[in-house]
Copies of this chain bind each other. A is one copy, B any other.
């Protein structure tokens, strides 16, 4: 499938979804839409992802060049930005499907619903949970696959990226590994999944369990995309539901080098790495014994030598192998996870 990726005024630094799709999805990127950087190419900004031209809008593409428009940015609040309407309209008139992870559902927009019907297009609101979710039965532990869950010290520490990188490297090393996506970007990349942060709170664990049960006998390893942190003042419920719903066998603790307070809630200090290890292991234990056997550290803001040292310190604090999955190799970490 050939996709155009909308990222107006935010590519690349504030376009996490667009970058994730360019880096990990099987889609062919026809173009990135960004009226600010139009005329450049993706490779002018980001060297290590799929390249594509950057254009001003859908009207710069031919209908024959693209199969879907994907909204690759998420404004605060998850609203639809009216400055995108012309692009979505053009896409639907071209016969393209539209994929979005906004809180505002495209299928509830009268114009988009009508245009989609007229042009036989799908509107896929990935943040809309399926209707048939329910409470967990407590059976995720029964699947054949070994379940690896990425957990974090905070939001936005790279759990999705770590899950994708580890699954990809495991596959390249010959293992049968799949990702269980739990958030909008992961779902867009994988093309399926339940948006765990949008389900009814009573169904949080159940919505994860359903995915584990669906895929757990088809693969040898499942890498579950974690969310939030178990001590996040706002999002810990989602984290806890994923921990117990996925019934993991092993945990990877994800962290950003140097972060010492909850992002956006800076009056709350992050506890020590040792405390996180204790918390995740002791909380998981009554449901599923799951040691933290590896760590992933995001060092994007550090120089090379500082990054190496930070990873070594992190591994020492964890008493387990660690890496930055983007910057360094994942050999030791995978060895701990896939033994």
Contacts and interface: CB of A to CB of B under 8 A. Distances in A.
Nearest to A242: B237
A270 B279 CA distance: 17
Contacts of A240: 230, 236-237, 239-241
Contacts of A236: 205, 240-241, 243-244, 287
Given A135-B235, A234-B138, A241 B201 contact: yes
A282 B286 contact: no
A231 B244 contact: yes
Contact of A268 (B138, B234, B270): B138
Chain A interface residue count: which class? 35 or more
A229 to B, nearest CB: 9
Contacts of A282: 275, 278-279, 282
A269 interface: yes
B231 A241 contact: no
A56 B287 CA distance: 45
Contacts of A205: 233-237
B230 A135 contact: no
Interface in A250-278: 262, 265, 267-271, 275, 278
A145 to B, nearest CB: 18
A232 interface: yes
B200 A200 contact: yes
Interface string A64-103: 0000000000000000000000000000000000000000
A330 interface: no
Interface in A171-210: 196-206
Contacts of A271: 285-286
B201 A197 contact: yes
Given A138-B233, A233-B138, A196 B201 contact: yes
Given A279-B283, A282-B282, A237 B230 contact: no
A323 interface: no
Count of this chain's copies in the oligomeric assembly: 2
Contact of A233 (B230, B234, B244): B244
Contacts of A233: 136, 138, 205, 244-245, 247, 287
A281 B138 CA distance: 25
Contact of A237 (B232, B238, B265, B278): B238
A135 B234 contact: yes
Contacts of A198: 200-202
A231 to B, nearest CB: 4
Which of A237, A262, A268, A275 is packed against the most chain B CB atoms within 10 Å?
A237
A287 B235 contact: no
B197 A138 contact: no
26 contacts: A135-B234, A138-B262, A138-B265, A138-B267, A196-B201, A198-B200, A198-B201, A198-B202, A199-B200, A200-B201, A201-B203, A201-B238, A202-B234, A202-B237, A205-B233, A230-B283, A231-B287, A232-B244, A233-B247, A237-B237, A237-B238, A237-B240, A237-B241, A268-B287, A271-B285, A275-B282
Given A136-B233, A198-B202, A231-B244, 9 more contacts: A137-B234, A138-B234, A198-B200, A198-B201, A200-B200, A200-B201, A234-B244, A237-B238, A275-B282
